[in-house]
């Protein structure tokens, strides 16, 4: 199958020019002017005049089919990657979870079983490590050799996910020595636990107390500690879902000192804020996620961090739970509201609208934040994350002028609400190709469950 995309405005993290792209099978074969005159017959020509031609989005932080709080996130690998594709994201990196007592490879096998035959786009895995005695440390190298080169560790959720500082130090050392990267959920979960218990004892059970018991200082302290431990371990660290200015300052300070500290933020921290918890009744439960939404004043600082490269990636932390049946579990007690929200479908459009259309970032930076940087950090570059000869033909024909209104009534995520209900955004993923196949075109799906392949990732941070 040969496809020729003509006259599109090709944008990568560094380039911006009008040209044609020839796709041969699953990869990009050639880029140039007027390729039609030299390619011979092709199966399909896509006229991309007036449109952006960008690398498929990479969302390195999703939770499909994640067991949490007595239920499971409502998107599985089929519905979740399908929704992602509608929004121009053609690769996800999801989190496999090691339960207590489980061997690392067993955890990974369980997530292979969830994704195989279901994912419509390519996917990789990080591994959440919860139980790491010294005897399991060599297992980290074995995971890296199998293409799982990043690990998430938690400083929060005592008794469930939290690991102690010694374990973090050992994991960072072992990962760092073998081309791996530790992704840190940085919040002081021990202090938070005390605040939560005090709130419940005082009868403070409404959703907003989820936010009021998880202060920004708890996140900043976690980020500071994570970076200090990484420095002692001579290893890099990647802070996930960074939500606030206090935490960002810790990353900035570290990077100013030349330390290999990296961080992502998510659209919810750029576009939503604490006031959403103050909505009528139980509505605030829709925004119960960790870290929580912060005061609006943080948003300008996060955008500044994105511009200045103190934040390198925008992921979603997509972890949807239906409002009616799942968030409901915590109607009388915010600690029982499953943590997380939907987001995988609208990341590209939200960031384009709030970033490029609002002139906060340029086109190259948009591509870098939504695709290229994640590919480089997580060992997928240059197979993913760019438009170049030899790269996978994961391509989005993006209409920068078209508007859409985000709504649960039209979205494709398997969840009964949208965190952005009614928001108008400029920028729509019109045609989406995954390894050379058109899987979305003008709002219709042409992909197939199981077509997505597991991505055996290389060493972290190897892509420059």
Among 317, 345, 392, 430, contact with ligand URP (rule: CB under 6 A): 317
Give the x-and-dash track for 58-77 against ligand URP (CB under 6 A). Answer: -----x--------------
Report the alpha-carbon distance of residue 116 to residue 120 in Å, rounded.
10
In which residue are the tokens 């035959």 written?
A: 117
| Burial group, residue 417, by CB count within 10 angstroms (0-12, 13-18, 19+) | buried
Q: By CB under 6 A, is residue 153 in contact with ligand URP?
A: no
DSSP E strands, 234-382 = 237-239, 261-265, 313-314
Q: By CB under 6 A, is residue 290 in contact with ligand URP?
A: yes
Q: By CB under 6 A, is residue 185 in contact with ligand URP?
A: yes
Closer to ligand URP at the Cβ: 104 or 319? 319
Q: Which of residues 318-377 bind ligand URP (CB under 6 A)?
A: 319, 339-340
- Using CB under 6 A, count the residues that bind ligand URP: 9
Interface stretch with Zn ion, choices 177-185, 303-311, 320-328, 356-364 (CB under 5 A): 177-185
Partner whose binding site includes residue 167, from Zn ion, ligand URP, none (CB under 5 to 8 Å by kind): none
Helix 104-115 with 137-145: angle, nearest 10 deg: 30
- For residue 378, the minimal CB distance to Zn ion (Å) is 15
Q: By CB under 5 A, is residue 318 in contact with Zn ion?
A: no
| Burial group, residue 191, by CB count within 10 angstroms (0-12, 13-18, 19+) | middle
Determine phi and psi for 363, rounding to 5 degrees.
-65, -45
In this structure, the chain runs to a length of: 464
Closer to Zn ion at the Cβ: 340 or 447? 340
CA angle, residues 426, 242, 266, in degrees to nearest 5? 20
Partner whose binding site includes residue 342, from ligand URP, Zn ion, none (CB under 5 to 8 Å by kind): none
- For residue 441, the minimal CB distance to ligand URP (Å) is 32
Q: By CB under 6 A, is residue 289 in contact with ligand URP?
A: yes
* Cβ-contact 78, 449 below 8 angstroms: yes
Q: By CB under 5 A, is residue 317 in contact with Zn ion?
A: yes
147 conformational bin, left if phi > 0, alpha if psi -120 to 50, beta if neither? left
Going 132 to 138 to 141 to 147, the CA torsion angle's sign is negative
Q: By CB under 6 A, is residue 270 in contact with ligand URP?
A: no
Closer to Zn ion at the Cβ: 185 or 384? 185
Report the alpha-carbon distance of residue 212 to residue 196 in Å, rounded.
9
Q: By CB under 5 A, is residue 185 in contact with Zn ion?
A: yes
In the chain, what is the straight-line distance between the N-terminal and C-terminal CA atoms, in Å? 32
Closer to ligand URP at the Cβ: 287 or 352? 287
Report the candidate in 86, 80, 82 with the shortest Cα–Cα distance to residue 65: 80
- For residue 85, the minimal CB distance to ligand URP (Å) is 22
Partner whose binding site includes residue 252, from Zn ion, ligand URP, none (CB under 5 to 8 Å by kind): none
Partner whose binding site includes residue 289, from ligand URP, Zn ion, none (CB under 5 to 8 Å by kind): ligand URP
Residue 291: asked if its preceding bond is cis (omega within 30°), the reply is yes
Closer to Zn ion at the Cβ: 59 or 317? 317
Q: By CB under 5 A, is residue 126 in contact with Zn ion?
A: no
* Cβ-contact 289, 280 below 8 angstroms: no
* Cβ-contact 251, 261 below 8 angstroms: yes
Interface stretch with Zn ion, choices 22-30, 142-150, 227-235, 310-318 (CB under 5 A): 310-318
- For residue 225, the minimal CB distance to ligand URP (Å) is 17
Determine phi and psi for 7, rounding to 5 degrees.
60, 25
- For residue 339, the minimal CB distance to ligand URP (Å) is 3
Three-state secondary-structure class, residue 147: coil
Residues lying near ligand URP in the complex (CB under 6 A) = 63, 185, 241, 289-290, 317, 319, 339-340
Residues lying near Zn ion in the complex (CB under 5 A) = 185, 317
């Amino acid at each position: 199958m040969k496809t020729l995309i003509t006259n599109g405005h090709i944008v990568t993290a560094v380039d911006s020019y009008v040209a044609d792209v020839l796709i041969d099978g699953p990869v990009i074969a050639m880029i140039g002017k007027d390729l039609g005159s030299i390619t011979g017959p092709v199966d399909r020509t896509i006229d991309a005049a007036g449109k952006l031609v960008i690398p498929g989005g990479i969302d390195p932080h999703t939770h499909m089919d994640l067991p949490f709080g007595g239920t499971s996130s409502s998107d599985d690998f089929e519905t979740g990657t399908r929704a992602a594709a509608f929004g121009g994201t053609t690769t996800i990196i999801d989190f496999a979870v090691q339960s207590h007592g489980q061997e690392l490879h067993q955890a990974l096998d369980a997530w292979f079983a969830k994704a195989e035959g279901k994912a419509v786009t390519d996917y990789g895995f990080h591994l959440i490590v919860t139980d790491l005695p010294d005897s399991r440390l060599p297992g980290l190298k074995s995971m890296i050799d199998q293409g799982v080169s990043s690990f998430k560790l938690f400083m929060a959720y005592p008794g469930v996910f939290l690991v102690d500082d010694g374990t973090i130090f050992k994991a960072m050392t072992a990962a760092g020595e073998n081309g791996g990267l530790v992704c840190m959920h940085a919040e002081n979960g021990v202090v938070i636990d005390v605040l939560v218990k005090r709130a419940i004892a005082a009868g403070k059970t409404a959703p907003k107390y989820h936010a009021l018991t998880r202060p920004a200082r708890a996140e900043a302290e976690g980020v500071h500690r994570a970076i200090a431990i990484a420095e002692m371990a001579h290893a890099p660290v990647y802070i996930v879902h960074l939500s606030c200015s206090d935490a960002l300052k810790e990353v900035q300070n570290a990077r100013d000192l030349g330390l290999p500290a990296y961080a992502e933020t998510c659209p919810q921290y750029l576009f939503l804020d604490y006031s959403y918890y103050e909505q009528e009744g139980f509505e605030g439960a829709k925004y119960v996620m960790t870290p929580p939404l912060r005061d609006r004043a943080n948003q300008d600082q996060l955008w500044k961090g994105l511009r200045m490269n103190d934040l390198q990636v925008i992921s979603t932390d997509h972890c949807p739970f239906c409002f009616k049946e799942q968030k409901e579990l915590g109607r009388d007690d915010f600690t029982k509201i499953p943590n997380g929200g939907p987001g995988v479908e609208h990341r590209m459009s939200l960031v384009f609208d709030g970033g490029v259309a609002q002139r906060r970032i340029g086109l190259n930076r948009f591509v870098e934040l939504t695709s290229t940087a994640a590919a480089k950090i997580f060992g997928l570059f240059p197979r993913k994350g760019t438009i170049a000869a030899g790269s996978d033909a994961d391509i989005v024909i993006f209409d920068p002028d078209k508007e859409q209104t985000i709504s649960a009534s039209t979205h494709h995520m398997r969840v009964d609400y949208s965190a952005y209900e009614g928001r108008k955004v400029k920028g729509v993923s019109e045609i989406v190709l995954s390894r050379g196949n058109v899987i979305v075109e003008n709002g219709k799906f042409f992909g197939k469950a199981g077509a997505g392949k597991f991505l055996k990732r290389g060493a972290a941070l190897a892509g420059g």
